[in-house]
Chains A and B, each alone.
Chain A
């Protein structure tokens, strides 16, 4: 066929199949095979006389008996019956019987008839296919209507279905349930939204419905495919997070047991010291009272550290349950200031509250923790006689809470780093200021989990302003982030 040198279609159509037994002997060649290799004098004939560069290894022979070799095409040199050689692509498919592999079908494509450009395109295409087959994420391409146009092997494996059975099905039918996959109140899935507006969306902790009815915990992202400026389809990448979630849960359980076990002896220590310090067990001399004060302060520091570590871990892995309600931030800030007043008084710092109406959707307990951390830091790092200002307010779409101090400030190179756990501006702060460097990290995690952001403006020598910015209206009434 290739000798007529006709249209490209004709030239590309040369796919010859050879039937090969388990000893790599060709037993049968069809008509296309004869036109590709030329008249074959005698069958059976050893396969390697046609394809001398292949080895038994390419057929999965010599490997573990049951191993299945994927039909992965290889480029190799083929030999015609007249001894001339040509570039060919060979796909090997195992023929399996109940007792194992009993033969192969080799599909041979003549590549020598292709122009260098065609060969390059074919190799690029092949490479892209190989990459798609190799990735462990499930990748679906969908058409403009959301129907599956293609799926890579990982995608099919996640669904426990054959790739061919997925084509034309609606992807949204297997990613869900609707309340967990980010579907809006009016029933529009994130995939449909992306096909509509072209914006990439990511959805965490949803499920994939497998054949047989079981579920896989997955994250997925959906992005649009553009052709000529319009969205003609999309790509949905699915990541199996079942194992990761299980590990996170075990870690969470471990931490909560550890935290409980640490807090139990701390309760006895704190309780004994409290009764001793309170004079319940008899009057104290000033040095004894001072020593008890030291022990008490440190037992409190230790129990705070234990709960901070647990909180931080849960916030960082997104396992902190959040109760989202509408909040009056001015009230919340005023309440925090009231709680922090004794600490301010003790440090000789003036805590000034300057609130204007501000509402946002958030978790009251956690947001209060975030504000407490900022205020308590501000007090800690203020000089005696200094002023800390806690203020709230809002503009068109943002609500803010601001804590300003006139302390030593934070050098510019550390202003990002201070939000990382165990970070201190001055390594000596851990002992002199009594903190482990977790407060700002917890605060930042809380604010991010609530859909907000935190920033700091600071000048060494003049002080710092920390601002929590929250959207005025949050999307969901309750969620775990």
Chain B
């Protein structure tokens, strides 16, 4: 499987580390991390990753807002986004439907299958 470049954005240090470790060690992807939606936008504009994996609730700028901003910028508009959420509220899931995102990953997730799940959501093979 081809190695890809992914940004992982989450304000929880431990979760960010675990997601990055799972995607790099098990998926063989190149990972960069940040902890706010704002930082993700700056990093994405500069690094132009293949995809962004991002938490919903983050300080400064939350995931859904950052996803909208990313899509609104011509240089980053084609970068697919996967949101991660610890919420089980269906209303929140329904609100995501309005966003152009590639998928939603529920927390807690299985780190052993995370990379495969991401690959499947993004249609990578």
Interface contact B25-A280, CB-CB below 8 Å: yes
Interface contact B111-A278, CB-CB below 8 Å: yes
Chain A residues with Cβ below 8 Å from B86 are: 259-260, 263-264, 267
- Known pairs A263-B86, A264-B12, A264-B15; A271 contacts B57 (CB<8 A): no
Interface contact A275-B22, CB-CB below 8 Å: yes
Interface string of B90-111 (1 = CB under 8 A from A): 1100100000000000011111
- Interface SS majority for chain A: helix
- Report Cα–Cα, A280/B19, bound state, in Å: 13
Q: Among A264, A267, A278, which residue has the most Cβ atoms of chain B within 10 A?
A: A267
B residues 1-57 in Cβ contact with A at 8 Å: 12, 14-15, 18-19, 21-22, 25-26, 57
Partner of A256, one of B22, B87, B94, B112: B87
Interface contact A267-B108, CB-CB below 8 Å: yes
Interface contact B57-A268, CB-CB below 8 Å: no
- Report Cα–Cα, A259/B86, bound state, in Å: 8
Interface contact B108-A263, CB-CB below 8 Å: yes
The count of A-to-B residue pairs whose CB atoms sit within 8 angstroms is 76
Residue of B nearest to A273 (CB): B111
- Known pairs A267-B15, A271-B22; A278 contacts B112 (CB<8 A): yes
The 5 closest A-B pairs by CB, nearest first: A271-B18, A270-B108, A263-B86, A268-B14, A267-B107
- Known pairs A275-B18, A280-B21; A267 contacts B88 (CB<8 A): no
Given A263-B87, A267-B12, A272-B18, 4 additional A-B pairs, CB 8 A: A266-B108, A267-B15, A275-B111, A280-B22
- Known pairs A271-B15, A271-B109; A260 contacts B87 (CB<8 A): yes
Residues of B whose CB lies within 8 Å of any CB of A are 12, 14-15, 18-19, 21-22, 25-26, 57, 86-91, 94, 107-112
Residue of B nearest to A277 (CB): B112
Interface contact A256-B89, CB-CB below 8 Å: yes
Task: Determine if A373 is an interface residue (Cβ-Cβ < 8 Å).
Answer: no
In whole Å, how far is A249's beta carbon from the nearest beta carbon of chain B? 12
Interface contact B57-A260, CB-CB below 8 Å: yes
